[in-house]
Amino acid sequence: MADPPKPPAPPPARGNAPAPGPVRTRILITGIRPELQTALALIDRGELREAARLLESSGAHAVAAVVRLEHATTASQSQGQRLQMLREGCARNPGDTEEGRALHRALAEALLRQAEAMADGAPRRALLIEAARALEEAGRGEDAGMIYERLGLWRRAAEAYERVGAITNLEYALEVIERQEAAQTAIAAAEKAVDEALRIGHRRLAYTLLGEHTSDRFLPTQARDRIPRLGLVQRLSVLEDALPRRTSIRVDWRGPSGAKTTLLHSGERLRIGRSPDVEIPIAAPTLSREHVCVELAPRMPPAPPGVALVAIDQGSKVGSFWDGDALLAGEPEPLTGSGELGLGFAATLLLHPLHEGDDTVGALLRIEGRDGWHLFLPEGGPLHLAPGERLPVTVSLRPPFLELTADPDTRLRLGSTLLEPGARVEALLGDRVEVIPASGPPCTLQIRR
C-alpha cells in the first residue's frame, strides 16, 4: 500500500529565525504581556527587526538589544544592513544595561571594520568618531579615547578617559591640551605682532616673524600637525606675492603737476636696446638687442676719487652717441652732466645724472617723444620722480624689499595709517604711500608691478 501524500511545506519565514530559547527565556522572565506575546510571535516568524522595535516601544530594552544583536549577526545580513540595524538599536537602547552595552560594542566593532577598509578622508573620520562614541556608551572609554587621540580630538579623549578613570592617559591628554593652548596663545600673539608690523610698514619684520612662526620648530612636537596656523600661512602667502622682487618697479604718482608714472630701476646696470628683456626696451629694428648700458663706476684718474655715471656701447652696429660724440664699443664714457644719449638714428634718451654730495648716485632718463621717466638708482638715493620733482624721501634697496625713508620733517601715510615724521616703510606691490612734507603739497605714490 502506498504511503499517504506528504502535506505541503510551510512557506519560508522572512529572515533566518534564531534559536528562540534565550530570547524566549528573557521575555518570560520579563513577564507575559500582550505586546510581549506579539514579540514572541514575530521572533518565531523570523521578523526580528519588527520584534525588536515592539520590545523597545514596550520598554524591554535589554531584550530588544539581544534580539538586535542576534539579527545583526545572521549570515544573510550585508554590512550595510548590519550597520543600519545596529545604529537603529543603539539610538533606541541606552548603554545602561549589559545587553545595551554589548549592542554599542557591536556597533563600534562594525564601524571600525568598515573604517579600516577606507582611505583617509572625511567619511573615514566620521566613522571613527561614531565608533568612539559607541565605545563610550559601551563603557569602553579608554578605547574611545585612543581613537580620539588618533583624530587629534584631545579634549574628547580627556573626557573619555576621565569617565572611566584612566588616569595615566588622562594626564597625557591634558598635557597635550596645555601645550596646544600655549601654542595657540603664541600664534595669536604672533598674528597680532605681524599685523601691527604690516600696518606701520615694517614688512621685513613681519616677513621674519611669519617665517619663524610657520616653521615646525615653533610648535610643540606632539601638537605639531594639529595647531591651526592657517592665518599665519595666509598672511605669509599674501606677503610673498606682494614682494617687489623685480629690479624694475612702476611708481604711479600724483602731485601738483598731475598724474604721472616713473619706472624705478634698481639693478646694477641699466640696459637699453631692442630686446624685450632689457630695462628700457625700444622697438627699433636697427638697434642691437642690448645696444648700450648705463652704470655706476669708479672715477678714472685724473678725476678725484668717487663714483661716476658712465655709458658703455655694447658693440652695436649703428653706434651710440653722447651729445653727438660717438662712444667706443666697450669703453666707459663718463656722463658728467645732463645731455642726450643717442642710439644710432633710431632713438634719443634725455639723461640727467643725480648727485649726492660729490658722488653720482643714479640718473633720470626719458625716451625723447615719450612721457614717463626712468629713475636709475642702483645703490639707492633720493627719490626723484622727474627733473625738479624730488621728494623728501630716500630709497634704500634691501632685496626683496624697497625701503622708503622720509626726511626728519616729512610724514608718510601708508594706506590709512599716518606714520611719525621720518618713518621708514618697506613698500610692497599695491601699496599706496602719501608723502606729506613739512611745507609744500603732498604727493601720492602707488607701487605697481
Q: Does domain 21-170 have CATH number 1.25.40?
A: yes
Q: What is the pLDDT of residue 71?
A: 65
**What is the pTM for the complete model shown?**
0.66
Q: What is the pLDDT of residue 180?
A: 85
Are 436 and 411 in contact by the 8 Å Cβ rule? The answer is yes
Grid cell for residue 424: 621708514
CATH domain 248-448 topology: Tumour Suppressor Smad4 (2.60.200)
DSSP letter for 202, please. -
Q: Which residues pair with 382 in a beta bridge?
A: 394
Q: What is the pLDDT of residue 9?
A: 42
* Side-chain-side CA neighbours of residue 124 (13 Å): 11
Taking 50 as the pLDDT cut, the residues of the chain under it are 1-20, 28-29, 220-226
Q: Which residues pair with 298 in a beta bridge?
A: 307
CATH 2.60.200.20 segments of the chain:
248-448
276 alpha carbon, distance to own chain's centre: 34
Which spans in 270-361 are helix H?
Answer: none
Q: What is the pLDDT of residue 79?
A: 76
Cβ-count burial 56-66 (b if 16+ within 10 Å, e if not): bebebbbbbbb
Alpha-carbon distance values, 179 to 87, 146, 426 (Å): 36, 18, 35
**Cis previous bond, 441, omega within 30:** no
Q: What is the pLDDT of residue 98?
A: 83
Q: What is the pLDDT of residue 37?
A: 61
CATH 1.25.40 segments of the chain:
21-170
Grid cell for residue 423: 618713518
Q: What is the pLDDT of residue 265?
A: 94
